[in-house]
A and B are shown apart, each in its own frame.
Chain A
Amino acid sequence: MEAKDLYIKPGNQERGWNDPPQFSYGLQTAAQGAPKRTPLNKRVPPPQLTGSPCPVPGDFPSATAPMTPPTNPLAPPCSMNTPPRPCPVAAPPLGGVMATPPPPFPVVEHTDSASSQSENEPDVDDVVTLLNWALTACRHTVKKQVCNDVAKRLKLFEDMWKSGKLSLPVRRRMIGLVQELKSCNWDAADEIHRALIVDHVNEVGQWMVGVKRLIAETRNLNPDLLHTQEVDQSLDTSSAGNSD
């Protein structure tokens, strides 16, 4: 899972009050089972029972909070070190204005303009070729109806790509998926399909199930079927060589 695929988006504040942020599939799966960095589970007993002043158990290092009071003389000012701009501390709080806090999480904006062709722009034909390679191999043993259904969805995927309806992360990850497919890394391909459908269901929902099925059927094939003559031919006839 690439670092780009570990992201957090803000929640839908229009539909749900205090909607929590949305974690990408990669972040959620990474978090499961991982030990907590700073378990927040300590409490403080009230002073009047133990008779002692409120104890302050202090050893909870956080990676980001400063360990010692800042020695940096330019820390947010108190009324002494007023920088040459209106210092809000000295004055009473601004009346009546509650500033809407900006979304606190680092929001990774996707470059959704699919039409911009950059140097590393993934080529749809590469992807389609590999998918069709797998589908051709499947046609030997898998029911015709199923193969046709898969083909229909692959076509839809191709059309959506060509008409610029798929965002860059989706296109990029599909390249990754077909690479795994080609290398027979079925679990890895499956995991990418899952990540894609969780993170981008509105773009991929209609056709991704075809890819899912393709992976499932291809992995069950006799390995010999994956390299029959007609299959290799379909790979050779692809336009603009595969980037290997």
Chain B
Amino acid sequence: MATYQEFIQQNEDRDGVRFSWNLWPSSRLEATRLVVPVSCLFTPLKERPDLPPVQYEPVLCSRANCKAVLNPLCQVDYRAKIWACNFCFQRNPFPPSYAGISDVNQPAELMPQFSTIEYIVQRSPPNPLIFLYVVDTCLEEEDLQALKESLQMSLSLLPPNALVGLITFGRMVQVHELSCEGIAKSYVFRGTKELSSKQIQEMLGLTNPSASGPQGRPAAPQDPAVTCRFLQPVHKVDMNLTDLLGELQRDPWPVPQGKRPLRSTGIALSIAVGLLEGTFPNTGARVMMFMGGPPTQGPGMVVGDELKTPIRSWHDITKDNARHLKKATKYYDALANRAAVNGHSIDIYACALDQTGLLEMKCLSNLTGGHIAMGDSFNTSLFKQTFQRVFSKDHNGEFRMAFGGTLEVKASRELKVSGAIGPCVSLNTKGPCISENEVGVGGTTQWKICSLSPSTTLALYFEVVNQHNAPIPQGGRGAVQFVTQYQHSNTQRRIRVTTVARNWADAQSQIQHIESSFDQEASAVIMARLGVFRAESEEGPDVLRWLDRQLIRLCQKFGQFNKDDPTSFKLSETLSLYPQFMFHLRRSPFLQVFNNSPDECSYYRHHFVRQDLTQSLIMIQPILYSYSFHGPPEPVLLDSGSILPDRILLMDTFFQLVIYHGETIAQWRKAGYQEQPEYENFKHLLVAPVDDAQEILQTRFPMPRYIDTEHGGSQARFLLSKVNPSQTHNNLYSWGQETGAPILTDDVSLQVFMDHLKKLAVSSAA
């Protein structure tokens, strides 16, 4: 319905929130019958160029186990200068500084248009941001040169007061001292010996051994001038560091024939994490690791150094034939958790033709909010520009990246929080709002997101706890408050508060209204994240069966049909796209490991569970636009029937941009008609999708691959594997469709899928 669509869009624009249901079922039982839980996608730092931050501290509810922030939903008595918390109903006096408020002189946080508001708080001196480069030197010469240049370039992109450090590794691990003068010194560690955090700090001279503290805790660090030998302000050491980077050599240890270089990634990371732990706990910091191959020695090794033993494939994993997998995953998991506890994030930039161990190392980025970039070589535009975009700035000229985030969720007493799925870790805070049904990262109402960007999005799951037949809560509305504290890239500490409310509805009498409030796009992504989360621990077919069951139940609940008559089945417009999303999700690399290596799956899933709604949907069901002489560019079904000889197709899968030229177009192009002035129309046609693709290429993070292909081209497979194969070699003559390209596949088509779905939904033997 148009009105709900507008409502949904306005709310997303203002608050960065998309709920699965915008009318909430008032009882637990009814909520479970809706199949898709009451849940939302939330983008904590959604870009709001129109929202100026306020320069004071937020006013909090005084009840100890509430502490909700004053917001537009609160009742206010301006005469008595008292406000009532909308979550716990506690009456709170306003602080003295609010003495002058009245209903014609409201503070910003009470105005409805400030349902999202940002506070700047300055409780302690600002901490500088920290960037610690961890660089693999077992690279080919050309790659190493390109990487060195990118790192030198990045020194000009860093925030000027940031601290920067350098660790290089190969067979050994070197921590470089970045003093301003004299000979460059470094501390060398064996790449095989695991050291505790305390040992690392002692060996780097970061602690005073004679004054060690209580057992197990690192001693107090000496004064900053000493501890910061390895992490220096970039404006002081940029020249020296540029020279140091320029002089980096390939790892000197010769690599025998038939062997891989010995790469001590595990130890290098452990030293990086330990160094930061000891010198700057609880400060925004970013470890940026660059690697050109898998770890082959020491703890965290993913594959041995014999080339004849390939790195594990899915086949190896299912046959339990991946020797190092469990141990390595456990090792990196522990490192990731240590980093997350300290608010430090870890980026992985992996450029190699073969796998590099992202499957084992993904938690380093997934738990801390760091990035994973995957490319073929450091000497590619894909890596260079993706890396540049880490330092992108917003319209104010400020860096988009933010650090040290914590998100707290409060809810009306009729709702409890089941959990979150996204790049976060639990802060394990106990409280009254926590549901016993854990979904994703549950058992808490607070999460830590060590590194954030304006697109970072969490999926949050709620449970309605009202008993069946209990009356609708007084006021008729439920509310949720999101409080995000973080360190802005300009080092200010900020608090962003978003408070939203939705009406309760009795599902028995108002089911149609509830249905019309359904947000099929948000729900598709929310369920998809659930599926991906499950896929990490469950067997693939089980996840697909679960997904199918949810879809069938949803269709049974909301479809209009006559029992046992599949042809009568219809879905209203608010749900019409949902089955298609689920169909494509089932075929997607997020749930289908066939044709993707374990590393590729890890990479795709990493990006899927953190992107905002629009990008996530693109990943589930790629966008397909058709360009032709018959009219302006139009969206078309992601279907083989859309592949026509006189069309150019632009497909966006998020990870790839594919421009596919139909057979006739390709022939014309080859014949060069676009060069001739009388065929200028054709030239414009060829350029149109290129221009549209360019807009996407200019800003997307990470940089996608760009594929220009045509009918019969080998690269056309990227398009052919994504479209619904409505026409295959099996049904070429029975389908009745005269156009479109048949696809050689045994995959189920959307039509067959829908037929089965309808049969199951209408069946009275449910």
Q: Mark A198-209, 1 if CB is under 8 A from B, else 0.
A: 100110011011
Does A3 touch B at the CB level, under 8 Å?
no
Does A240 touch B at the CB level, under 8 Å?
no
Are B688 and A28 in contact, with the CB atoms below 8 A? no
Residues of A within 8 A of B631 (CB): 58, 67-69
Residues of A within 8 A of B157 (CB): 194, 198
- Number of contact residues on B: which range applies? 35 or more
Are B695 and A38 in contact, with the CB atoms below 8 A? yes
* Extra contacts besides A12-B381, A44-B636, A99-B669 (17): CB < 8 Å: A15-B142, A15-B376, A16-B383, A20-B657, A22-B384, A32-B392, A38-B695, A41-B623, A46-B637, A56-B634, A65-B627, A66-B629, A75-B629, A89-B668, A105-B690, A205-B152, A205-B153
Assuming A40-B696, A46-B580, A197-B156, is B149 touching A205 (CB within 8 A)? yes
Assuming A32-B393, A66-B681, is B380 touching A19 (CB within 8 A)? yes
Are B634 and A58 in contact, with the CB atoms below 8 A? yes
Does A117 touch B at the CB level, under 8 Å?
no
Residue of B nearest to A99 (CB): B670
* Binding-face segment, A47-55, A173-181, A224-232: A47-55
Does B614 touch A at the CB level, under 8 Å?
yes
User: How long is the Cα–Cα vector from A41 to B149 in the complex, in angstroms?
Assistant: 37
Q: Mark B378-410, 1 if CB is under 8 A from A, else 0.
A: 011111110011001111000000000000000
Does A62 touch B at the CB level, under 8 Å?
yes
* Binding-face segment, B170-178, B250-258, B698-706: B698-706
Are A11 and B381 in contact, with the CB atoms below 8 A? yes
Does A163 touch B at the CB level, under 8 Å?
no
Among the listed A40, A70, A101, which residue makes an inter-chain contact with B692, where contact means beta carbons less than 8 Å apart? Answer: A40
Residues of B within 8 A of A62 (CB): 627, 632-633, 688, 691-692
Assuming A28-B388, A32-B393, is B632 touching A74 (CB within 8 A)? no
Are A33 and B395 in contact, with the CB atoms below 8 A? yes
Are A23 and B149 in contact, with the CB atoms below 8 A? no
Determine how close the nearest CB of chain A comes to the CB of B179; give it in whole angstroms. Answer: 11
Determine how close the nearest CB of chain A comes to the CB of B551; give it in whole angstroms. Answer: 13
User: How long is the Cα–Cα vector from A38 to B690 in the complex, in angstroms?
Assistant: 12
Does A241 touch B at the CB level, under 8 Å?
no
Are A46 and B682 in contact, with the CB atoms below 8 A? no
A-B contact pairs, 21 of them (CB 8 A): A18-B715, A19-B376, A19-B705, A22-B381, A28-B698, A31-B698, A43-B621, A43-B623, A45-B573, A45-B576, A46-B580, A49-B576, A62-B633, A62-B688, A64-B684, A69-B630, A98-B712, A104-B659, A194-B157, A205-B242, A216-B235
Among the listed B384, B618, B708, which residue makes an inter-chain contact with A101, where contact means beta carbons less than 8 Å apart? Answer: B708
Residue of B nearest to A12 (CB): B380
Residues of B within 8 A of A23 (CB): 385, 697-698
Does A76 touch B at the CB level, under 8 Å?
yes
Are A18 and B392 in contact, with the CB atoms below 8 A? no
Residues of B within 8 A of A209 (CB): 152, 155-156, 238-239, 242
Are B681 and A44 in contact, with the CB atoms below 8 A? no
Are A11 and B380 in contact, with the CB atoms below 8 A? yes
Are B388 and A198 in contact, with the CB atoms below 8 A? yes
User: How long is the Cα–Cα vector from A98 to B716 in the complex, in angstroms?
Assistant: 12
Does A88 touch B at the CB level, under 8 Å?
yes
Determine how close the nearest CB of chain B comes to the CB of A68; give it in whole angstroms. Answer: 8
Residue of B nearest to A97 (CB): B670
Does B122 touch A at the CB level, under 8 Å?
no
User: How long is the Cα–Cα vector from A42 to B636 in the complex, in angstroms?
Assistant: 9
User: How long is the Cα–Cα vector from A8 to B629 in the complex, in angstroms?
Assistant: 27
